[in-house]
Amino acid sequence: MIKRNIPNFITMLNLFSGSIALVFAFNDNLFLTAWFLAFAAIFDFFDGMLARLLHVKSPLGVQLDSLADMVSFGLVPGAIMFQLMETCETAPYFYFFELNLWSFAAFLIPVFSALRLAKFNIDERQTESFIGVPTPANALLFASLPLVLSQAQESDFTSIVGLIKNYWYLLALTVVFSGLMVSEIHLFSLKFKSLGWNQNAAKYILIVLAIVLFILLKFISIPLIIVIYILLSLIYKPKTT
């Protein structure tokens, strides 16, 4: 009984971390929001791994995982983008109850995340790879933006600061990646069934590049790593079953 529920407990830690991240997001502490979303992503990785190792995968676990992901990787990145858009001086203005309605475009992220998760649960082609950008990868991209902004401000990277403070850039990013989540692009997963190069070339390349880029660029590397992940998937074209 305990063994069967260990992965579900880890999944609930994902949801708990996402809930805390959401509180920090709406209190405009995006730095801590990003870190708690990162914790949620770690728990999300380990719940599936433990379920496979313990041979306790269950329909309940699948549904619970999607519900947790909807909060942590759907609603939280939407809240992050909402707060970033609210601070953009380049945004058009249409205020309602002291809120700029243009900022609500950020909630395209949870809307399309819900659609992505629902499609994933009923799509039997996605057992070994993904069709569309996974919600955790999408969420990490958006969660990295406050960290990138902080690093860019400290390092005086004015071009990067200008991008993240530009409403139209944030809107374009929101629309593009919302679309990518429900697209038919095939992307590889980071699950290893063997250690051979031929079966895992794209994974090894991604891991090595991710480590090198993070050492060199720190948080600025995260959006680049997500883009490289998509490009490698397009090059290596993983098969779906």
The domain that contains 202 carries what CATH number?
1.20.120
Note whether 234 and 185 are within 8 A (CB).
yes
**d(Cα 88, Cα 186) in Å, to the nearest integer?**
34
The pLDDT of 38-66, averaged and rounded, is: 82
Residue 115 lies in a domain: no
Model pLDDT, residue 107: 96
- Compare 5 and 77 and report the one with higher pLDDT: 77
- Compare 78 and 125 and report the one with higher pLDDT: 78
Q: Which of 141, 166, 127, 162 is nearest to 220 (CA)?
A: 141
3-state secondary structure of 186: strand
The pLDDT of 82-103, averaged and rounded, is: 84
Residues forming a β-bridge with 188: 129
Residue 48 lies in a domain: yes
Q: CA angle, corner 123, sides to 196 and 110, nearest 5? A: 100
**d(Cα 5, Cα 113) in Å, to the nearest integer?**
26
Quick one: what percent of the chain has pLDDT higher than 70? 93
* Number of Cβ atoms within 10 Å of the Cβ of 100: 17
Reported pTM? 0.89
Residue 241 lies in a domain: no
Q: How many domains does the chain have?
A: 1
Q: State which amino acid sits at residue 98.
A: E
Residue 20 lies in a domain: yes
Domain that holds residue 217: 2-109+120-236
Average pLDDT, the chain: 88
pLDDT band at 127 (very low <50, low <70, confident <90, very high): low
Residue 167 lies in a domain: yes
Residue 198 lies in a domain: yes
What is the torsional sign of CA 79, 133, 68, 151?
negative
In what helix (H) or strand (E) does residue 35 lie, and over which residues does it extend?
Answer: helix 30-54
- DSSP conformational letter for 105: G
Residue 13 lies in a domain: yes
Model pLDDT, residue 220: 94
Model pLDDT, residue 69: 94
Whether residue 154 is predicted with pLDDT greater than 60 in this model: the reply is yes
Residue 224 lies in a domain: yes
Model pLDDT, residue 46: 86
**d(Cα 78, Cα 138) in Å, to the nearest integer?**
11
Model pLDDT, residue 173: 96
Model pLDDT, residue 42: 92
